[in-house]
Amino acid sequence: MLLKIDNVQKSYPGGRPVLRGVSLALDKGQTLALTGESGSGKSTLLNLAATLDSFDGGEITLDGTDLSGLEDPGRAALRRQSVSLVFQQFNLIPSLTVAQNLSFHARLAGRLDEAWSTHLADRLGLSDLLDRYPENLSGGQQQRVAIGRAMAAQPKLLLADEPTGNLDETASATVLDLMLSLVAETGAALLLVTHSQDIAARLDRRAHLSGGRIT
Amino acid sequence: MTVAIIQVLLSHWRRHRLQLATLLIGIALATGLWSAVQAINAEARASYQRANEQLALGQHDELRNPAGPITIDRYLSLRRAGWQVAAVLEETTRIGGRSIRVMGVDMVAYPALPAVTGIEQSATPPDPADMLTAPGRLLASPDLARFLSNQTGLPPVLTSPDLPPDLILTDIGVAEVLLDRKGQISRLIILPDQPRTLPEIAAITPELERVEASSQLDTAQLTDSFHLNLSAFGLLSFAVGLFIVHGTVGLAFAQRRGMIRTLRALGVSMRQLVWVILLELSLLALFGGLAGLMLGYFLAGALLPDVAATLRGLYGAPVSGEIALQPKWAVAGLAMALGGTLLASGHALIRLSHMPLLSGAGVQAWRTAAFNGFTTPLLGLLIMLVGIIVQLSIGGLVAGFTLVAGMLLGAAMLLPSLLSLVISIFQRFTKGPIAQWIWSDMRAQLPGLSLALMALLLALAANIGVGTMVSSFRLTFTGWLDQRLTSELYLTAKDDQQGREISNWLAPQVDAILPIRSVELAHPSGPLFLYGVVDDQTYRQHWPLIASGADVWDRVNAGEAVLINEQLARRQDLWPGDDLMINREYTLPVAGVYSDYGNPTGQAIVSMTRLDQIAPGVEARRFGIRTRAESATELADALRDRFDLPGQAVIQQAAMKAQSMAVFEKTFVVTSALNVLTLGVAGFAILTSLLTLWTQRLPQIAPVWALGLTRARLAQFELLRSVLLAAITAIIALPLGLALAWTLLAIINVEAFGWRLPMYLFPADWARLFLLTLLAALVAAALPAMRLLRLPPAELLRVFANER
C-alpha cells in the first residue's frame, strides 16, 4: 500500500480535536477524492499525508515508511522523493521563471528528465511561457505550472488541496483534465481535497470527512 | 472624528511593536550621533567665545610690529602723543613640562577684563597693589591653578573659573619676568575712548601696523575646518540612521494601505489622513529625538575630552573637557529629528497621498516599485556628476564636501542595480536548483533590503575612506617625525644665559648643538613663525622637503633664501622660485617647501644670521642635541644634575615622538568612534530590515519547505543570503571607500588643513573590515534564522491556509 492512514487523531493547539481516528488507504495508480465541510479537517489530513504536519495518535505509512517519530530531515526527504503537492493558491516560487519552477522539484529530487519536462510543458500549454515569471501569468496558467512542477518530479503520490478552488469554470475543467490524465499517464496515486461533488465524481473513490471522522 | 482616525492608525503600532521600536531606535540613533557631534562643536565654540570675552580678544584694533616685539620707547612715544593704548606681552612657555600661554596685560590701562573684575568682586578680593607690584599675582583656571601651585618660583595664583584651561593672565610686569622679556611688548591695544585731535600713528611709529578688530584671526576661524570635518561625519551618521527610518516608515505605510483604503471608503478625506499621519510622525520624531538627545549627550561627554585635547594640541584652542547641556543644542537636535523623520517619510507619504481609492497594491508591489527601473540609478549617476562638477568648477572646502556627499549618495542609489547585476551574473553560472533558487531569491529580496544595504555601503565606504586616510596619515606622520625629530635630546634652558652655559659645556662632548629659535611675526597670511637654523648635516640629510630648487641648503645657509612650510605654500601659492615677503624690509626667494603636519599656521626657515637681522634678540634657550643614541640617557641625566634642570627640560627623542604620536592618535579618536558607531547602525539597519520583512518572508519560504527542504537548511540559507549580500556590498564599497580616501587626502585635507598626504593602501585593514562586515551580517541574520529554525510547521502551514 502506498499510503496507509490508520486511526489517526489530531487536535489543534488548545485541545480542539480535528481528526478523531481517521483511517484510509491508497495504492499506486488509485485516485481518491476527500470531501467535507469547511473546517472538517480535509486539509489537515492532506498535510499529515504530505509530512507537513505531525499527528497526535494513530499511524501513517507512506511508501513503506512509518511517519510516526520521523524527524524533520526524514520528512523533508519523503517530500522530495515520494510526494508532490498542488495548492489552491499555486504557491509557485516568485523569484524563479516558469521553466525553473517546472524543473525545481525534479532537480531537488535528483530526477530531472529533460524530455519528460519538455513533454509536460507541451501538454500543459506552457512552452511559450517558459521565460516568464509567475507574477506575469493568469491563475489558470499558474496552476498549470504548479501541476507541471509536481508531475516533473514523477512522484508516487500527488496530493492536491482544492487545486481548482481559485479558478473559473473553464480553467478549472482544463486543470482537472490535465491533472487526471497526467496521473493516469505516470501511474501516480492522487489524493485530492475538494468541496465539489462534480470533481469528486471524476475520481476512482471518494471519502467524506465529517466531525473528524470518515463517514 | 480625528480621535477615531488616530485610534485606528495607532492600532497598527500596537500590532507591530517591533516595527515601532525599530522606527524609534532609527530616529534616536540618527539624532544621537548628529547631536553628539553638534554638542561637541557647540561646547568648543562656547569655549572660544568665553575665552574671547574673558580676555577681550578681537574687540579692539591693535598695533603690531611685523619685525618682532614692540619696544617700550615706541609705546611711550604713542602715550606721549596722546594715544590711549594698552600694552600686551603674550607668549607660550613651558612650566613644569606643560605648555602654557602667558598673557601679560597692562592692568591699569587695559579694558576691564571679566576675569579680573570677577576676582575683584569676589568675597575675598586681593589688594589691587598686590596685582601690580612684585611678585604680582597669576590668574588661572581652577585646573591650571592647582597645577601651578605645585610649581616653585612662581607668584601666588588666583583662581578665575572662566579663564581658558592653559592660559595665565597677569600684569605685564609680572609676565616680563616670567617670560624673560624685559621691555618687550607683543602688541598694543588701541583703546576705544581717544582724545579728539591726535597725530597719525604712522607719523609717530611708522614701523607699526594697525590690525582692525574684524580682521584678527581668532580661534573659531582657525578651527572652522576641524568642526566642519566633524559635522560632515555627524551628517553621514545621521543619514545612515535615516535609512532605517525611511525603510520602516515605508513598510508601515505599505502595510496600512488596506486600513487607509477602508478609512477613505468610510468618508475620511485624504487631506485629513495626511494631517493625522504628519501629527503621528511628528510625535514619533519627538519621542525618538528625545532618546537620541540623551544618547548624544552621553556620547558627547565621552568623546569631548579627546576632542578638547586635539583642539588644544593642534590649534592651542581653549576647550574644556566637560560638556554642558545647552537648551539651544537640545532644540536643534529635536528639530533635526523632526526634519529628518519628515524628510525620510516624505516619499512614502506622498505616494500614499496619491494612492487611488481602489488601489490594491500590496507590500510587495510597494517594495518592488521603490527601486525599480532606471530612475534611481540614473538619479544616482546625476548626483555623482553634480558633485564632480561643483568640485571642478567652484573648488574649496564646501565643494569638496559636496563631492563627497555626491559620491556617497550617488553610489548608494546605484547600489540596488549593481547588486542585481552581480547576482544575475552569479545566477547565470549556477547549475544546482538550490543555488539557483538562492540567487534568484536574493535578487527578489533586494528591494526590501536595499535601504539597509545602502546604509551598509555608506558605513563601509566611510570606514575604508577614513581608515585609509588615518593610516596613510599615520604612516606619513611617523616617517615625518623620524625626519623632523632627528636630535637625540631636546633641551630647554631657564634663560638665554643658562642656554649659553649649557652650549659651552656640551660643545666638546656632542656631535652638534642645533639651536631652536623662533619669532612670531605679523604677516598678511596670518601669524608667521620664523625659525633660524645653523648649517648642519642633520638638516641637509633629514629635513622633509616636498619641493625644492637647486642648492637649497647652501642658499638658505648663506641667507639668500627661505624655506616655507606646506601650509604657507598652499595658502599663498608660493613655490620654489617665488618670493616671500617676510616683512617690509626683507623679501627672500623661496628655496624649498617642507611638510609640517599638525601645525595650522605658516612657518618659514632662514639662516640663524638672517633671523638675528630680521628679529634681533630672539631667545636662545632651546636646543636639539646630536649625540650617540647610546649615551643620550646618560647625557640627559648629567645635564639635569649639572644645571639643576627639571625632568621635562631635557626630553629624549623617543619620548618626544611618543608625545607627538599621542596627540596624533587623539586627533582621530572621534572620527574612529563615529565610524564604528555608523557601522553598528548599518548592522542594526540590516537586522531591522530582516525582522520587518519577516512576515513577507514566510510565503516565499513555505513552498520551498513544502517541496522538501528542512527548516534547518532554510535557516542556513537565510544566513548565507545575508552574508553574501553584505559581502558583495563590501566589495562594491572598496573602490568607493578608496575614492573617498583620495578625496579626503587630496582635496579636503588640503583645503581644511593646508597639507596634502600621499595615499597608501592597507589590504590587511580591508580584510579585517570585510570579516567584521560578514560577522555583522551573520549576527543581523541570526535572529530571523533562529526564528525560522524554531518555527512550528503549523506556522508555515498557515501560509497556505492564509492564502485562501
Tens digits of residue pLDDT in B698-708: 888 888 999 88
Please list, in sequence order, all residues whose beta carbon lies within 8 angstroms of the beta carbon of residue B382, skipping any fewer than 6 positions away: B410
**ipTM given for this complex:** 0.81
- Within B644-710, residue ranges assigned H as helices are 653-667, 669-692, 694-706
More confident residue, B111 or B605: B605
**DSSP assigned state of B326:** -
Arithmetic mean of pLDDT, B3-8 = 78
Arithmetic mean of pLDDT, A183-208 = 92
Cα B665 to Cα A78, B310, B558: the distances in Å are: 62, 9, 39
| A65 touching chain B per CB within 8 A | no
Between A and B, how many CB-CB pairs are < 8 A? 89
Distance from CA of B421 to the nearest CA of A (A): 15
| B360 touching chain A per CB within 8 A | no
Residues in chain A: 215
Question: Rounded to an integer, what distance in angstroms lies between the CA atom of residue B139 and that of residue B130?
Answer: 12
Plot region of B240 (φ>0 → left; ψ -120 to 50 → alpha; else → beta): alpha
Q: How far apart are the first and last CA of chain B?
A: 34
Distance from CA of A90 to the nearest CA of B (A): 9
| A88 touching chain B per CB within 8 A | yes
Distance from CA of A166 to the nearest CA of B (A): 9
- Within chain A, residue ranges assigned H as helices are 42-49, 72-81, 98-109, 114-123, 139-152, 169-186, 197-201
What sign does the CA torsion over B697, B698, B699, B703 have?
Answer: positive
Average pLDDT over all residues of chain B: 82
- Within B573-630, residue ranges assigned H as helices are 608-614
Return the residue in A63, A89, A97 with the most chain B beta carbons within 10 A, the one to mutate for interface testing. Answer: A89
Arithmetic mean of pLDDT, B621-642 = 88
pLDDT at B381: 93
pLDDT at B553: 93
| pLDDT, tens only, A119-168 | 999 999 999 999 998 888 988 899 899 999 999 999 999 999 988 887 88
Which three cell numbers, joined as nine digits, stand for B530? 620664523
pLDDT at B361: 44
Cross-chain Cβ contact A80/B702 below 8 Å: no
pLDDT at A183: 92
Question: Rounded to an integer, what distance in angstroms lies between the CA atom of residue B684 and that of residue B456?
Answer: 10
Burial bucket for residue A20 (CB in 10 Å: 0-12, 13-18, 19+): middle
| B716 touching chain A per CB within 8 A | no
Q: Which secondary structure element, helix H or strand E, spans residue A192, and what is its range? A: strand A189-193
Cross-chain Cβ contact B796/A79 below 8 Å: no
| A69 touching chain B per CB within 8 A | no
CB A90 within 8 A of CB A145: yes
Distance from CA of A81 to the nearest CA of B (A): 8
CB B499 within 8 A of CB B493: yes
Question: Rounded to an integer, what distance in angstroms lies between the CA atom of residue A33 and that of residue B775?
Answer: 51
pLDDT at B324 over 90: no
Can you name the residues that pair with B104 across neighbouring β-strands? B89, B170
Radius of gyration of chain B (CA): 33
**DSSP assigned state of B647:** G
* Secondary-structure percent of chain B, ordered helix, strand, coil, rounded to 5: 65, 10, 25
The model's pTM is: 0.72
Distance from CA of A18 to the nearest CA of B (A): 14
Task: Name residue, grid cell 592653559.
Answer: B166
Distance from CA of A100 to the nearest CA of B (A): 8
pLDDT at B803: 43
Which three cell numbers, joined as nine digits, stand for B203? 607719523
CA angle in degrees (0–180, nearest 5) for A146-A150-A153: 145
CB B590 within 8 A of CB B579: yes
- Ranking B62-71, B408-417, B450-459 by mean pLDDT, the lowest is B62-71
Question: Rounded to an integer, what distance in angstroms lies between the CA atom of residue B202 and that of residue B584?
Answer: 14
Alpha carbon B146 to its chain centroid, in Å, reads 30
Cα B765 to Cα B463, B465, B472, B473: the distances in Å are: 10, 11, 12, 15
Cross-chain Cβ contact A92/B804 below 8 Å: no
Chain A residue with minimum CA distance to B711: A72
- Ranking B30-44, B58-72, B381-395 by mean pLDDT, the lowest is B58-72
Question: Rounded to an integer, what distance in angstroms lies between the CA atom of residue B707 and that of residue A109?
Answer: 9
Cross-chain Cβ contact B700/A76 below 8 Å: no
Cross-chain Cβ contact A85/B707 below 8 Å: yes
Is residue B156 classed as helix, strand or coil in its secondary structure? coil
Judging contacts by C-beta atoms under 8 Å, the chain A residues touching residue B710 are: 72-73, 75-76
pLDDT at B344: 85
Q: Which candidate, B50, B39, B32, places its Cα nearest to that of B307?
A: B39
- Ranking B123-127, B339-343, B566-570, B571-575 by mean pLDDT, the lowest is B123-127
CB B391 within 8 A of CB B402: yes
Can you name the residues that pair with B757 across neighbouring β-strands? none
Judging contacts by C-beta atoms under 8 Å, the chain B residues touching residue A47 are: 797
More confident residue, A173 or B692: A173
Judging contacts by C-beta atoms under 8 Å, the chain A residues touching residue B699 are: 91
